[in-house]
Amino acid sequence: MGAAELASRFRVAGVAFADTEHGLVRVQVSRGGSAGELFLQGAQVTAWQPAGQRPVIFTSARAVFAPGKAIRGGVPVILPWFGPHPTAPTAPQHGVARTAPWRLERVEEAMADGIGLTLALDGAGSDWWPEAAVARLRVVFGSELRLDLAVENRAAQAIEFEEALHAYFAISDIASVSVTGLEGCRFIDKTAGGARRPPTGGRLTLASETDSVYLDTPATVAIEDPAWRRRILVEKEGAASTIVWNPWADKAAAMADLGPDQWQGMICVEAGNVADNKISLAAGATHRMSTRISVAGG
């Protein structure tokens, strides 16, 4: 469904649809001084800026917006596997959902100051996710950013999957921020071949490439950004894992859609259920994971 058809079907003040030159459909939301943006491809949020704040979600200035291409930044929906496919080396990294065409099902006035968008994706039929599963993502743009991901198992047997809301956050400088809330959590260090690490006991600061999958993590994690006098809070429900990632200079320079000059201004803090925390979902059941992103200070 193109922008014109969507605009005639979903008439809500502050919601604009556009067909981009690259062949994607973009939705822009503005309400109460907050602004947000998402693409139907991947149901991918690419911008969120609450009233009175700098942008909170980071999207690369070099991101490629093209059908079937993962967009560098925003909040990619990672499903039904995280990282490389466990058995199929030619399968896409981070699953099929983030480059698939989701359909917009609902646009609603949500919360006191927000607009909610509900998008859906049928897993069945894709090469890599044959199970009859349906994913729904509800995104609420307002003074907070809320994402609720529900996976319904319509198969006759249990299914297993990993999932993550792979959020990129805009920060002052990777060398001056820290992450709190993960002090007591063990983690998998993907920069060290997946080595299992014990809890560090202290706040997380980054001084080199960081790619850590924290397991059995608490509900709230915070990005402390004193230079911008703000804290970004990432509250979670139904998400046992938290992934923290920054590619650092060498890896970033090798990424055409990131480049050598932006990596210091971003950090990924991702709510998910991956590795030891992956989901096994009974036939007919639905699993829900949600994250609520807000900004304090600033």
- Residues recognised as catalytic: 166, 270
Task: State the minimum distance, in angstroms, from the CB of residue 44 to ligand TA6.
Answer: 11
Total residues belonging to the chain: 298
- Report the residue number whose CB is nearest to ligand TA6: 245
| Tokens 């608490």 found at | 218
Is 165 one of the binding residues for ligand TA6 (CB under 6 A)?
Answer: no
Residue 37 or 270 with smaller CB distance to ligand TA6:
270
Q: Which of 94, 230, 278, 292 binds ligand TA6 (CB under 6 A)?
A: 94
Contact (Cβ atoms closer than 8 angstroms) between residue 79 and residue 151: yes
Q: Which of 70, 119, 159, 182 binds ligand TA6 (CB under 6 A)?
A: 70
Residue 108 or 189 with smaller CB distance to ligand TA6:
189
Helix boundaries (H) for 132-200: none
Residue 118 or 242 with smaller CB distance to ligand TA6:
242
Is 166 one of the binding residues for ligand TA6 (CB under 6 A)?
Answer: yes
Is 245 one of the binding residues for ligand TA6 (CB under 6 A)?
Answer: yes
Task: Give the count of alpha carbons within 13 A of 95, CB side only.
Answer: 23
Both tokens of 10, joined, read 């979903």
Residue 94 or 287 with smaller CB distance to ligand TA6:
94
Number of H helices, E strands in the chain: 2, 23
Task: State the minimum distance, in angstroms, from the CB of residue 122 to ligand TA6.
Answer: 23
Task: Give the count of alpha carbons within 13 A of 134, CB side only.
Answer: 11
Contacts (CB under 6 A) with ligand TA6, residues 198-217: 211
Q: Which of 154, 186, 190, 288 binds ligand TA6 (CB under 6 A)?
A: 190
Size of the site for ligand TA6 (CB under 6 A): 11
Contact (Cβ atoms closer than 8 angstroms) between residue 32 and residue 143: yes
Contact (Cβ atoms closer than 8 angstroms) between residue 200 and residue 212: no
Is 83 one of the binding residues for ligand TA6 (CB under 6 A)?
Answer: yes
DSSP per-residue letters across 41-93: BTTEEEEEE-TTS---B-B-TT----TT---SBSB-EEBS-SSS-SS-TTSPT
Is 54 one of the binding residues for ligand TA6 (CB under 6 A)?
Answer: no
Is 148 one of the binding residues for ligand TA6 (CB under 6 A)?
Answer: no
Contact (Cβ atoms closer than 8 angstroms) between residue 271 and residue 291: yes
Spatial CB neighbours of 62, under 8 Å, sequence gap ≥ 6: 72, 256, 257, 258, 259, 262
Spatial CB neighbours of 267, under 8 Å, sequence gap ≥ 6: 168, 169, 171, 174, 177, 179, 206, 223, 244, 245, 246
Task: State the minimum distance, in angstroms, from the CB of residue 162 to ligand TA6.
Answer: 11
Task: State the minimum distance, in angstroms, from the CB of residue 101 to ligand TA6.
Answer: 18
Q: Which of 268, 289, 293, 295 binds ligand TA6 (CB under 6 A)?
A: 268
How do beta strands 204-205 and 230-237 pair?
A: unpaired
Is 162 one of the binding residues for ligand TA6 (CB under 6 A)?
Answer: no
Q: Which of 57, 243, 252, 267 binds ligand TA6 (CB under 6 A)?
A: 243
Is 81 one of the binding residues for ligand TA6 (CB under 6 A)?
Answer: no
Residue ranges binding ligand TA6 (CB under 6 A): 70, 83, 93-94, 166, 190, 211, 243, 245, 268, 270
